Amino acid sequence: MRWIEVMWRESSDSGASSSFALRTAGQITTGSHNRRGWFRAMAALLAITASGPIFAQSPPAAPRFVVVLDAAHGGDDTGARLGGEAEKAYTLALSIRLRSLLMARGFAVVTTRESDATLEPDSRAQIANHANAQACISLHAAESGSGVHLFVSSLAPVQDARFLPWKTAQAAWIMRSLSFAGVVNSALSHATVPVTLGRTALPAIDSMSCAAVAIEVAPERSTDAQGPASLDDPDYQARVANALAAALVEWRSQAREDREQ
Ligand SMILES: [Zn+2]
């Protein structure tokens, strides 16, 4: 009789997916001199039976969708004064909150800072560019204005991304960043958060090679909002964070549709 010898092999690129390599083992007799081989083959087959069908191929793992969250300011740079709080603390809290919302939705999240650390714009861009991210969001907050101020870099778009100076790397990504801003705008508007769109020079984002926006959260001052406008309003904070998470879910599904076409 013929047996199939099965070797279990972890695929090299990902521990999550595995595959079988099959080869025929030739004649295996049940003679006493080869009884050990027969038992080994039986054990291999039993192991296969226990672990599922032999020829089932695990589906290719979806590529990691990486989001960079950049909590602006930090350390010596306190940012704006927001009531009793510094902007640097507000942006860090929002980054942490958004990170957990995104991780619960299957995103890989890279943050530029996890503590009250001083970080230069170049270091932020370096972290973002190293992450090879599909979306980058720089988080700010302000007392003035209303709702969310949504910014895209004011660099003029360029087509050729091969030899971009570091300080203007974002120029090759402007069109993607504008699309991403459109998705963020829709999600915030859907959550009835007022949005103001703008283009401006953004020292960290201008050096980033990813679809990138800056978000500046201001108190909600829409006419139908209840009570005094405050950045500390937990309902408002939750709506902003959930809308940003929803925007990234939409951005990810658009990216997957693009890839399948
Ligand atoms: Zn700021």
* 56 assigned to some structural domain: no
Q: 87 CA to middle of ligand 1, Å?
A: 7
Q: 173 CA to middle of ligand 1, Å?
A: 22
245: nearest Cα among 106, 143, 148, 141: 106
Domain range holding 150? 66-260
* 237 assigned to some structural domain: yes
Q: Are residues 11 and 101 in the same domain?
A: no
Q: What is the pLDDT of residue 3?
A: 40
Q: What is the pLDDT of residue 221?
A: 79
pLDDT at 5 over 60: no
Q: Are residues 13 and 134 in the same domain?
A: no
* 14 assigned to some structural domain: yes
Q: Are residues 161 and 252 in the same domain?
A: yes
pTM: 0.74
* 28 assigned to some structural domain: yes
Find residue 77's DSSP bridge partners.
74
Packing angle, helices 234-260 and 174-190, rounded to 10: 130
Q: What is the pLDDT of residue 227?
A: 57
Q: Are residues 46 and 113 in the same domain?
A: no
Number of domains in the chain: 2
Q: 74 CA to middle of ligand 1, Å?
A: 10
pLDDT-derived band at 15, boundaries 50, 70, 90: very low
Q: 128 CA to middle of ligand 1, Å?
A: 18
Average pLDDT over residues 225-246: 86
* 204 assigned to some structural domain: yes
Average pLDDT over residues 37-45: 57
Q: What is the pLDDT of residue 206?
A: 96
Long-range contacts of 55-59 (CB under 8 A, 24+ apart): 55/20, 57/19, 58/17, 58/18, 58/19
Of residues 110 and 1, more confidently modeled: 110
Q: 236 CA to middle of ligand 1, Å?
A: 19
* 60 assigned to some structural domain: no
pLDDT at 26 over 60: no
Q: Are residues 13 and 106 in the same domain?
A: no
pLDDT-derived band at 106, boundaries 50, 70, 90: very high
Q: Are residues 18 and 128 in the same domain?
A: no
Contact 67, 131 (CB under 8 A): no
The span from the CA of 94 to the CA of 242, in Å, is 11
Q: 73 CA to middle of ligand 1, Å?
A: 6
Q: What is the pLDDT of residue 64?
A: 86
Q: Are residues 95 and 224 in the same domain?
A: yes
